[in-house]
Amino acid sequence: MSKILVTGGTGYIGSHTAIELIKSGHEVLIIDDLSNSKIEALDIIEKLSGKRPVFEQFKLRDSAKVDDFFEEYDIDAVIHFAASKAVGESVAFPMKYYKNNLVSLANVVDAMSVNNVKNIVFSSSATVYGQPDKLPATEETPILPAESPYGNTKQIGEEMLLDQTKASDTFTAIALRYFNPIGAHESGENGELPMGTPNNLMPFITQTAIGLRDELKIFGDDYNTPDGTAVRDYIHVVDIAKAHIKAVERMIDGKTESQFEVFNLGTGKGFSVKQVIESFEKTTGVNLNYSIAPRRIGDVEQIYASTEKANEILGWRADKTLDEMTLSAWKWEKHLKENK
């Protein structure tokens, strides 16, 4: 059994990953400041996995607390999710994103170095590719100037980890560049819980469908795509979580081929915003009220992944369909309403 620290572990992807880690036989420790999640996530993790993780609440920008945590626990690896993640907000408040996302990562890596913790899986993003000249995006696709401060923090985060692998011959990092996680746990009891107005498409769809929002806004219908709406590679959150298990076990088992590895996580298919809406309406029987709004600053036109490297080297594959993603998200939204 390995001890895995999951930063941001009460958040959307973090909590699903904690559940899968525990089910795979690992011991989970979580640090989260609960700025974009709720303490009740621990109860959900315990219910769905059978074990409650160790939990401490503080900001990773507090280097003294980070150092104390690493000294107290004998950690085998870190999965680093903790970060602010809204593209639009990052454009409006760039310094918040640089401070929160990069200082936190630096403090974690410092504490790892002092305490001889060698392995980190970094929650990166397809945003590092910007708008690629050629699709699908592979791991060798050139890193273009970021479209947003959020995307830039992911680029810089990867560079920080690469530099650390050059400075230490025992430090290993895997950056998982994932595309657009949506959906919820098959039980309907764990899913995306944005604080305030959602920034992502799927919770906006489900909140509109259940009556919490008057309408869904589609940002732009004049893109050069089949139906004019932006195209993304949507992937089920549990598939994403399982990839983190593969990555962390790859490092712990000493199977990495280099000290810094990168894998795309996606389905390899692009779906437009309208296709996601159509899938939701089909699987749930609910008609959505939506309107067209201007494009958002920082949004790219279309992007989807080549997943060959993750399939072949990491031994991971996304299993769930778009219909499974949209239906599971609806089950979660209904669960929230029923348990208010």
Q: Is the peptide bond before 132 cis (omega within 30 degrees of 0)?
A: no
- Catalytic choice (129, 150, 178, 234): 150
Q: Is 178 a catalytic site residue? A: no
As a whole number of angstroms, the distance between CA 14 and CA 27 comes to: 14
DSSP 264-331: EES-S--EEHHHHHHHHHHHH-PPP-EEEEPPPTT--SB--B--HHIIIII-------HHHHHHHHHH
Q: Is the peptide bond before 136 cis (omega within 30 degrees of 0)?
A: yes
CB 325 within 8 A of CB 181: no
- Structural Rg of the chain based on CA atoms: 19
CB neighbours (10 Å) of residue 187?
A: 15
CB 34 within 8 A of CB 57: yes
CB-hemisphere CA count at 13 Å for 245? 23
- Give the β-pairing of 231-232 and 271-272: antiparallel
As a whole number of angstroms, the distance between CA 281 and CA 231 comes to: 18
Helix (H, G, I), strand (E, B) or coil at 206: helix
Output phi, psi for 190, to 5 deg. -145, 135
DSSP-derived letter for residue 222 is -
Counting every residue written for the chain, the total comes to 340
Question: Which active-site residues does the annotation give?
Answer: 150
